[in-house]
């Protein structure tokens, strides 16, 4: 089989099931695999034999998938959840699915099979997971055209949970004129273990449904083929329970009794609907009774929280085209001459002028963020640094604001990369949000500064770039021109 036209991207928080998935991909001969280590408290590197591991931002699956596809190089990005298992022949079927697509198709959705226990009825949790078999645009196995992701800005990181971020992306792709197809490949999704309160925690998705309606309008469920759910019934049941408690405290016994009867009826109906199709064991019935009493209140609380935080969530940047590029100086724009204070020694990096001209032609503002510890060390003056910077612009054309940190590594300042200070100040100077900026640099400190500020990061390695910095970078380009092509959404 020819070289794959796709990279596999797997966001993971280190679940044990990741090993089985990677083993299956190795058996399939899939060699280009990116695992996004999205653990918030990651200490030791995530063990992912045979895969390239990149650090995720730990802001949820949407942000992790964005880090993954931006680190990929192939024209197609095949997303897999870290708890699925591709059967024998999956790679060949994915190739066939992609080869059959027209140019206006943005994505190919795989089919998900959830094995349920034989000999008994499935539990409520097992039925919940089995719903993936009929879910539209589920990213358990979803391959996207890289150009389509770039065109719409990828996943919307305002969705912090593994819920609705796939529906949101699908609706934005359709609105942009793309189509989404269903493929023939299949993955198996075993039912993960869960405690009895999992259904109550899942009600957090009601907050994301509030955001979906704000972004896509009243009819978003029909367009996304999303089930209507029971929110109205939950709200009515929770309201009856709250009224019963309030009336009892106020001494209004008749009202309290009527409201309590309404709450009991709503809770009983919910429990009965969940018990009847299940195994009806003592433990399952007890779980359904306990969670059915709590579930309407959890749903109502998350729905209210969604409305309370909606203004703040909408104020965060939506996935749109890049608004600014922040560039490191030494090793990125010009050849690195340590502690250079002589404008005559300035030599542009190959292709730097052409890369900056492309950004200017695209109307993308720029700024420079540069550590210059030679000032604090007494090896340079501010005036010498300014003279070198003017020479850089004389050779490469006007760039924009120059943000310089004069401190030494041990000074404890907030501006020296990898701290985010320079990136934040540059974004403020350009009048854009840090999340809509990209930082291009040649070492890990540039990448870490971008991440700390919430910006996108592209590493352009030079001989002084350490191998571990290259492996950890979310996106890597061979040179500055390649980085600009990547940022402007050119096809890989």
Map residue 244 onto helix, strand or coil. Answer: helix
Let me know if 328 is a catalytic residue: yes
Let me know if 357 is a catalytic residue: no
Helices (H), 276-398: 282-308, 310-315, 352-361, 382-396
Please answer whether residues 352 and 394 qualify as being in contact, where contact means their C-beta atoms are separated by less than 8 angstroms. no
- Spatial neighbors of 491 by CB under 8 A, at least 6 apart, are 75, 146, 147
Among candidate residues 209, 330, 442, 448, the one labeled active-site is 330
Q: Measured at the alpha carbon of residue 15, what is the angle toward residues 13 and 18, in degrees to the nearest 5?
A: 105
**How far is 319 from 152, CA to CA, in rounded Å?**
7
Q: How far is CA 101 from CA 98, 150, 225, 421, in A?
A: 6, 18, 22, 46
- b/e code 371-406 from CB counts within 10 Å (16+ = b): bbbbbbeeebeeebbeebbebbeeebeebbebbbbb
**Residue 159: both structure tokens together:** 């969705």
Element (H, E) at 224: helix 220-224
- Spatial neighbors of 219 by CB under 8 A, at least 6 apart, are none
The torsion angles phi and psi of 106, rounded to 5 degrees, stand at: -85, -30
> Helix/strand/coil (H, E, C) string of 97-127?
HHHCCCCCEEEEEEEEECCCCCCCCCCHHHH
Among candidate residues 7, 328, 446, 448, the one labeled active-site is 328
**How far is 491 from 471, CA to CA, in rounded Å?**
22
**How far is 48 from 56, CA to CA, in rounded Å?**
14
The torsion angles phi and psi of 50, rounded to 5 degrees, stand at: 85, 0
Which residue in 474, 472, 492, 467 sits closest to 482, CA to CA?
492
Please answer whether residues 50 and 33 qualify as being in contact, where contact means their C-beta atoms are separated by less than 8 angstroms. yes
Catalogue the active-site residues.
328, 330
């Amino acid at each position: 089989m020819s070289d794959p036209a796709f990279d596999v991207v797997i966001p993971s928080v280190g679940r044990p099931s990741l090993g089985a998935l990677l083993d299956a991909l190795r058996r399939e001969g899939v060699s280009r695999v990116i695992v996004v280590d999205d653990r918030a408290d990651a200490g030791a590197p995530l063990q992912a034999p045979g895969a390239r591991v990149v650090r995720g931002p730990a802001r949820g699956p949407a942000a992790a998938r964005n880090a993954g596809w931006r680190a990929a190089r192939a024209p197609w990005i095949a997303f897999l959840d870290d708890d699925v298992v591709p059967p024998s022949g999956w790679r060949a079927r994915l190739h066939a699915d992609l080869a059959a697509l027209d140019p206006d198709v943005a994505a190919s959705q795989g089919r998900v099979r959830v094995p349920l226990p034989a000999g008994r009825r499935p539990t409520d949790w097992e039925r919940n997971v089995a719903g993936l078999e009929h879910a539209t645009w589920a990213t358990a196995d979803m391959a996207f055209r890289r150009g389509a992701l770039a065109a719409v800005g990828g996943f919307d990181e305002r969705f912090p949970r593994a819920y609705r971020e796939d529906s949101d992306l699908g609706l934005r792709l359709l609105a942009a004129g793309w189509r989404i197809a269903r493929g023939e490949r299949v993955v198996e999704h075993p039912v993960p273990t869960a405690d009895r309160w999992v259904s109550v925690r899942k009600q957090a998705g009601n907050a994301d449904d509030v955001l979906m309606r704000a972004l896509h309008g009243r009819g978003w469920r029909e367009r996304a083929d999303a089930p209507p759910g029971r929110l109205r019934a939950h709200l009515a049941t929770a309201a009856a329970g709250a009224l019963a408690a309030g009336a009892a405290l106020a001494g209004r016994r008749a009202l309290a009794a009527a409201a309590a009867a309404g709450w009991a009826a709503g809770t009983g109906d919910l429990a009965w609907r969940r018990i009847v199709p299940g195994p009806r064991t003592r433990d399952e019935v007890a779980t359904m009774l306990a969670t059915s009493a709590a579930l309407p209140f959890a749903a109502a609380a998350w729905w209210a929280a969604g409305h309370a935080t909606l203004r703040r969530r909408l104020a965060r940047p939506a996935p749109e085209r890049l608004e600014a590029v922040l560039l490191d100086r030494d090793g990125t724009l010009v050849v690195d001459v340590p502690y250079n204070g002589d404008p005559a020694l300035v030599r542009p990096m190959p292709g730097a002028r052409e890369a900056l001209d492309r950004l200017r032609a695209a109307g993308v503002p720029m700024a420079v963020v540069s550590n210059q510890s030679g000032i604090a060390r007494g090896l340079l003056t501010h005036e010498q640094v300014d003279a070198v910077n003017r020479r850089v612009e004389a050779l490469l054309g006007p760039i924009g604001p120059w943000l310089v940190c004069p401190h030494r590594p041990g000074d404890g300042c907030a501006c020296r990369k990898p701290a985010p200070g320079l990136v934040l100040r540059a974004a403020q100077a350009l009048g854009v949000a840090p999340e809509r900026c990209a930082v291009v640099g040649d070492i890990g400190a540039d990448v870490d500064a971008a991440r700390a500020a919430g910006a996108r990061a592209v590493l352009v390695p030079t001989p002084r770039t350490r191998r571990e910095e290259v492996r950890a970078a979310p996106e890597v380009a061979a040179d500055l021109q390649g980085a600009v092509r990547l940022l402007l959404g050119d096809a890989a």
